[in-house]
Structure 1
Amino acid sequence: MFKIPKLLVLAFSILFFSSSYSQDKTIDSLKIVLRNTKVHDTTKLQAISDVMDNYYSLDDKNYYYLNTILGNLALKNYKKGNTFKEQIIYAEWLAAHYSIVANRYSQKAMPEKALAYHDKAIAILRSIKSYDEMYVVSLNKAAFYAKMEKNKEAIPLIYAALKFYEKDPVKYAEQMSYALTMMANVYSSQNQYEKAISYDLKAIGYYDAFYAKNSITHTLYLKALCYGHIAFCYTRMKEYNQSIIYNSKALAITKKIGADSQTAQALARMGEAHTKLGHFEEAEKLYQEVLGMKSLTVENDNLSIAMSTLGLGLLNFEKGDLDKANLYSAKGFALSKETGNIALQKQGADLLYTINIKTKNFEKALEMYKYYEKIVDSTQILEAKGAFEKQQLQYDFEKKELNYKLVSQKKAAVKNNWLIALSGAILVLLLGVYFYYRNNKQKHAIAGLEKNQIKQKLLITQMNPHFIFNSIDNIQGLIHDKKDSDAVNYLSKFSKLTRQILENSNENYISLSEEVEMIENYLSIQQLLYSNKFDYKIEVEDAIDTEAILLPPMLTQPFIENAIKHGLGNKDKNGMIEIHFYLKESKLFFEVSDNGKGFDAEKKVTNHKSLAMTITKERLVNYTKNADFIVQADNIKDTDENIVGAKISFEIPYIYEN
């Protein structure tokens, strides 16, 4: 299930909240579930998440109170020894918690801590290869950068997420909507409002598709943010009637779900549109409604209050009351700095600059101008640096040209310069030839390696269907013989073995412990098929570290199969298969023996035409680069020289991972 918290998509809509909380009946009911010791912790985590998603929005204090409980429970289990599956689940919940904490620090204008927690969440998800959720956290990080107007850092994160989710846009409908909304936000920050609106509308389509299947509050919340952003874009395009229409759509949702902060922001945006249309009375009514919302005071929602206070500053400026305009604008500007919202600070600084120019307070106007320029410069440092470097390079080039002309006037210096230039050219040519040769050599080596790896995977995929076909044939035989319980048991073990084969077929090397586990599964399946007419024993020399030894997968199975089918073909009971892995002169050897009829002189295993064994021998030749690779086959004899079994052994190429 999708665990990562829903994206805070618009930089100007991220809220500041306090850490205080109050209880309600929903949380009280949840606590009863959490105290139940019979309920598994993974179920408790899911219950907390469901309550967060379905009963609270991102501007509700209880949302973050519950996140603290979720984080503590996830971290406690993450530090324990769990099964691999459980560890992944707890890791995902812990990453979800970190992502929400990151957003909290972003809202509180604490960028260093916000980035640290974003990166912690991303690192955990990458470690367990949970890429779908990892890219959602990346989008959260992009939202943080967008809030700081660091679009150069945000854009690669957005495109990486889009590239991943576009592989299956139906499955990732909600995540696609997050990425599209982020694209809209970046376009609007670059004043490309029409493009921003087109991306918002695409995002809303994905939100609707997701909500049709998953009716959760957060989806409506984020859809309302899209409407609010569209309204913001229309205001900047001076299409104020359209802005009012889309603000009304946002309000209809935020009031329905009880998202007071988003309601306040929609009212503030609507007030700005009415101000620009000259509807001063209606605009002031809307601003005062925001400032009169008690929940905003309780939550210390500086963003909504700052928007409305600056709105009143703009309103009084348009009405010509410069004293009131200056009072409200100064208060709103101070609040905007507390939010850390760059766009709002720019708006406040610009408004105060204009007011002070009108009132001829040029000192204050200059202060606001410098503040505005400082913010703009901080968002363009990289671009300015690039332009500076370009100018510096041009200057250096022109300076060298001038020096060359001066020196060239001296006859003796001209000779020296020609000699230096010729020597340099020869040196550059020689270096160029050398690096060209080395580069081509590396390319050929890499191409050869990739070709060999592809061939190895092709060989192993050829072998796996052969084995699977035989096993399915065995299951059919049990069913026809009406051995239902044996068939079910066989099928269960076969499915486990098949999964191992499929997982390992994409690997060039697996650990010896994994190979031994596959062999054990395979032999237990064959025991069922042959009515337990044989036993088996697997022995690994004590000196061998089975986790550190890596070898190509499925090299041994064909030879074990041959020992069972052909070596024990004449036995009705008391058969024995012995498997031995041992080291000899730092080389790893595999040996399989049986107590069957042995080899006929003319039917040695080296001449056996089994497809699987033929492929396996070809794989061994490719791994060892030895065309004369030998599989040693011998009969086992007693003291009277009677054949009492057969033995096969060969060297296995391996990697020791220390």
Structure 2
Amino acid sequence: MIRCLALFAVLVAGMEVAAQSARLRALRAAGAYDTLEVEARALLAAHAGPDEVRYDALYHLAFARSGKDDPADALRNGQEALLIARDLKDTIRIMGSLYQLVKFNVEARHYEEADRLRYELLSWAKGYGKDARQLALAHNAVGSLHSRELRHDSAEHHYREGLRVLGEADEPLVRLALIGNLAGTMGETSRHADAIALHRQALAMLDSSDLPNRAWSLRTLAQSLIHAGRYKEALATMHEGDSLNRLGGNALDLAIDFAELRADALDSLGDHRGAYAMVKLARDLQDTLFARSLDEQYLELEKRFGTRLKEEEIQRLDAEAREREERLRVRNVQLYGSLALAVLALGAAALVWRNLREKRRYSATLERLNAELKDQKTRIEEINRLLQLKVLRAQINPHFIYNCLHAIGNLVRSGDQAGASSYLDGFARLLRMVLDHSVKDRVPLSQEMDFLRQYLKLEALRFVDGLDYEVGAEPGLLEEDDAVPTLVVQPFVENAIWHGLATKEGAKRVKVRFTERQGRVVCTVEDSGVGRSAAPKRAHADGSPSMGLQLTSERLQLLTFRMQEQGRITFTDLSENGAPSGTRVDVVLG
């Protein structure tokens, strides 16, 4: 009887472990990383010894930390789980931890450690020989290593071996990974027909309701068709993939890929107008993606700051409420004592006098609190504007970044390696300047002029017929090298290029001049563009405003507000023979 009870207890414990493990796997599959971390930590607190429960908790806690972008903590928990698996001599769990650590080390860019773990995983999987899934995953991991090392024959061998050992096992995700990687290797070795066939095989395995993965699979198929020179098939495939992407959530990064691939295909077919439209669409989608990222960062900062202010306000108001309650209690005791000791007339007079005094006191307190709340509201609004300005100052126009990268790509494709290298050096120098200036309030005038020259130098390369620009200052200002606010002038120069010169035919010129007026530094930005009244209003393909120009407009509005004084920014429309001939902006920098 005792032996039966012991066996029953072991069976119940095993069922509990299996249920807990299934619960953790379900949370990981659903991407519920917050709940997964909470439940995993609760299991760790309840199980101190190295057992299966503690292993499962650490293993899934590592996935939770990885899902929350903490690779260091994910590696630490994954390594601790591997140690427990080795102590338990549990081959299945050892292989699971090794595969997990390969993934985490690749994400952390610890490639040498990931490569070492790949070979160890393959050794364990071959030695065990009973788990086709783990052996296939091991071959896939080693194949990925050899693909990165450009050892394509070896990579192909491991991918095919993984498919062979998987056989007819019901492991669709592992099979899809192996087929996709094998197709990529075929494409790298210019066997595009074989790559296309494998991509179609993978696409056929996907469920028809799995719209996001089908869209991504169609993207890789379209890329292989382009490499094979089958441009019309590629365009049809991309049209289908783009439609599925819109139905499945409209992932912006995938939409950008489709637009860029369409541009390549249309350009190869000689449809340069269509290719240009796709390039423009990709650029607009890049704007939207970049702006969404900035909005998320700003909302997170605003949320944190607002929460802290609310907590401080609640604590202060709670303390004041307790103080008022205590004062009220003391006052009531005094009032009742006075009524008991004094005659009715004196008591009434005393009551009136006390009420008047308390009314004046509470009125003064109320006025003080209202003044404090008003001051705090003003400070919050000022801090919000500063946060907005910091976020907007920390960026450079996404249109400009995209065009620079596109120009570099064109130079590389045309074989002009020297030109691409020179352009890339200039682009890197400009980004370095933006990074340095974004953390400072003021910089010497000479540094600001160097930054503007570098910016205009790169912008000039966008125009086929060239862009004449000049950045100068009065000799006296250069000798004193006064400090000026950082990144204030650049939005006005950018505005002159985008609004004034982008659509102008013929010669294009921008002149930036720093002068001294009445003891203040004044910057004048003058362009020979079409004028403000004729400046184009750019928009996205769906009719919404261009996010790039919207960001530039917001920067100008914030800079104008921060300057506060009337007349600090002056716009002047230039004309010649009654026709618009450009715009001049005068900015008083202080």
Using structure 1 for the length normalisation, give the TM-score.
Answer: 0.39
Relative contact order: is structure 1 or structure 2 higher (C-alpha 8 Å, sep ≥ 6)? 1
Q: Which has the larger radius of gyration?
A: 1
